[in-house]
Amino acid sequence: MTSEFTTHLTEAVVDSLEGTADPRLRELLAALTRHLHAFVRETEPTMAEWEKAVDFLTATGQTCTDTRQEFVLLSDVLGVSMLVETINSDGRGDVTESTVLGPFHMTESPVRELGADIDLVGGGEPCVVSGRVLSRDGTPLPGAVLDVWQANAEGYYDVQQPEVQPPGNGRGLFTADDEGRFWFRTCVPSPYPIPTDGPVGDLLRATGRHPYRPAHIHFIASAEGHTPVTTHIFVAGSDHLDSDAVFAVKESLVQDFTETDDPSLAREFGIPNPFRQARFDLVLNPARS
């Protein structure tokens, strides 16, 4: 009788959605209902366990602020963000692979000139990041826009340390030149833990997982007539490349940050010598017509 009732209950909830005007919304809610009900039937949570789950989601929402998105962090550590990103990636041709947006793309990156230094506080190992934005066939994309953001040398984003870092530290909005080239100065990123002082941190501790991400720089590259890509570059040899807390590492995105000892080149870039260099291209797919 219980099994018959639970099946009828699921069907009744799905039937109640028939009046939903948006067909895609109706499809999504119906699938969510079926899978959520199936989860409950499979695991048979107690009322205390279900109340604890509701409390966890409530605390997750209460932790969100203008500069912190705990629900994005939860999506990240459960691998859902990476799954959605991968399913929605264009996947055509030899193009730059996508990865997660992350929870710290919270503020608008300041417009900066090519060659500018996004590390406004110093303290890290100086670095020059350069490359080109190309179409899939290798054609340069002049005027392509690159939104860049990263943590400082201690592993914190500007929004995490408003009393220490000026707004926009580690961020820049760059426009590629007539040959699709870009370059900027920064510090070599370091591995860092995602925030663990909220519900997501409690979840990681309860499951015996570490909170660390390998060293990386975020990019969103876009150009007219092309599909934008949200991606990272990861520092080759960084700790946690094989155990990223948000499951975002792809082999093609791991890049060498080469040690360079060249005083004349350092003067050209306006950076202390010695320094590190990372060179790579961002390749975009033409948009589907």
- DSSP codes joined into one string, 40-53: HHHH---HHHHHHH
Mean pLDDT of 261-274: 95
Mean pLDDT of 44-64: 98
Mean pLDDT of 170-191: 97
Q: Which residues pair with 132 in a beta bridge?
A: 181
Q: What is the pLDDT of residue 93?
A: 67
pLDDT classification of 4: cutoffs 50, 70, 90: confident
Percent of the chain surpassing pLDDT 90: 90
Predicted confidence (pLDDT) at residue 74 exceeds the cutoff of 70: yes
pLDDT classification of 180: cutoffs 50, 70, 90: very high
Residue 57 is encoded by which pair of tokens?
């989601």
Q: What is the pLDDT of residue 7?
A: 85
Predicted confidence (pLDDT) at residue 54 exceeds the cutoff of 70: yes
Mean pLDDT of 73-87: 95
Four-residue CA torsion sign, 28, 29, 32, 38: negative
Mean pLDDT of 44-66: 97
pLDDT classification of 42: cutoffs 50, 70, 90: very high
Q: What is the pLDDT of residue 1?
A: 45
How many angstroms separate the CA atoms of 166 and 120, rounded? 8
Q: What is the pLDDT of residue 217?
A: 98
Q: List, in order, residues 6 or more apart from 189 with CB less than 8 Å away.
A: 150, 151, 153, 215, 216, 217, 235
Q: What is the pLDDT of residue 234?
A: 98
**Alpha-carbon separation of residue 69 from 51, 59, 65, 158 (angstroms):** 23, 12, 7, 14
Listing DSSP states for 220-248 in one string gives EEE-TTB--EEEEEEETT-TTTTS-TT--
pLDDT tens per residue, range 123-134: 899 999 999 999
User: Higher-confidence residue: 273 or 103?
Assistant: 273
Average model confidence (pLDDT) for the chain? 95
Residue 258 is encoded by which pair of tokens?
């080469």
Q: What is the pLDDT of residue 141?
A: 98
Q: What is the pLDDT of residue 288?
A: 82
Instruction: Using alpha carbons only, give the angle 81, 282, 238 rounded to the nearest 5 degrees.
Output: 65
Q: What is the pLDDT of residue 91?
A: 66
Mean pLDDT of 37-45: 96
Q: Judge residue 236's burial from the number of C-beta atoms within 10 Å of its C-beta, 0-12 exposed, 13-18 middle, 19 or more buried.
A: middle
Q: What is the pLDDT of residue 92?
A: 66
Contact 127, 275 (CB under 8 A): yes
β-pairing, 126-135 vs 275-279, is parallel
The secondary structure of residue 157, as a DSSP letter, is: -
How many angstroms separate the CA atoms of 121 and 123, rounded? 7
Mean pLDDT of 89-116: 89
